[in-house]
A and B are shown apart, each in its own frame.
Chain A
């Protein structure tokens, strides 16, 4: 079955550490996205990538970094520069061809800073 996987499901980080969240999709989608979800805030876009080796900042990119070396993979690194990283992180993807326009979401990673 095609879909998006995110790992780990739960992640704990000590202050000052960098951590990397994994996102993999086998939907052959071109574009991938990272969102951050906080209670009562909805989803906010961190980074997105429309094609391999290219990515763009979203609304809240500070303290985060990404890479897109393969079409299937779009890992997100939460750096020590991110002052309040505790949140639920969602990865999504969409096909750039056709007219479906539906974003598919992974199951999410909950990051907690200790």
Chain B
């Protein structure tokens, strides 16, 4: 079975500062990796995904993430945040070749942008 750990439950950041949201996973097989964003009382929206190929993945809203297989990490970064980035961010994994049982999610990181 796989698991996902998001190391920070809350991350406060000043507007226009850079941010990194950390995600580590464990799995005995290869995985697909995802970052989703959730605004209050809404569903989840895909930010970016890593399936294969280049380990640096670029997503929407200026976010990017880097897959590090040796450290089993998939940290999310943005060089300059905006007030509108305030939201809950979820890292998720899905095993290759299967996945009938859906995604495994981390517990989420609440990104708080301070003016």
| A residues lining the B interface (CB < 8 Å) | 4, 6, 31, 33, 35, 40-45, 48, 50, 56, 58, 88, 90, 92, 99, 101-108, 110
Contact = CB atoms under 8 A, between A and B. Distances in A.
Contacts of B99: 101
Contacts of A99: 51
B90 A105 contact: no
A42 B100 contact: no
6 contacts: A35-B102, A42-B108, A45-B102, A56-B101, A101-B32, A106-B43
Given A41-B107, A42-B108, A101 B94 contact: yes
Contacts of B105: 35, 42-44
A31 B36 CA distance: 19
B43 A107 contact: yes
A48 B49 contact: no
B107 A48 contact: no
B96 to A, nearest CB: 9
Q: Which among A56, A58, A102, A110 has the highest number of chain B CB atoms within 10 Å?
A: A102
B43 to A, nearest CB: 4
A48 B41 contact: no
Contact of B49 (A101, A104, A110): A101
B84 interface: no
A94 B9 CA distance: 28
A40 B43 CA distance: 16
Contact of B107 (A4, A40, A88, A104): A40
A6 B43 CA distance: 10
Contacts of A42: 90, 105-108
Given A40-B9, A42-B105, A99-B51, A31 B100 contact: yes
Contacts of B45: 105
B41 A92 contact: no
B100 A48 contact: yes
B54 to A, nearest CB: 16
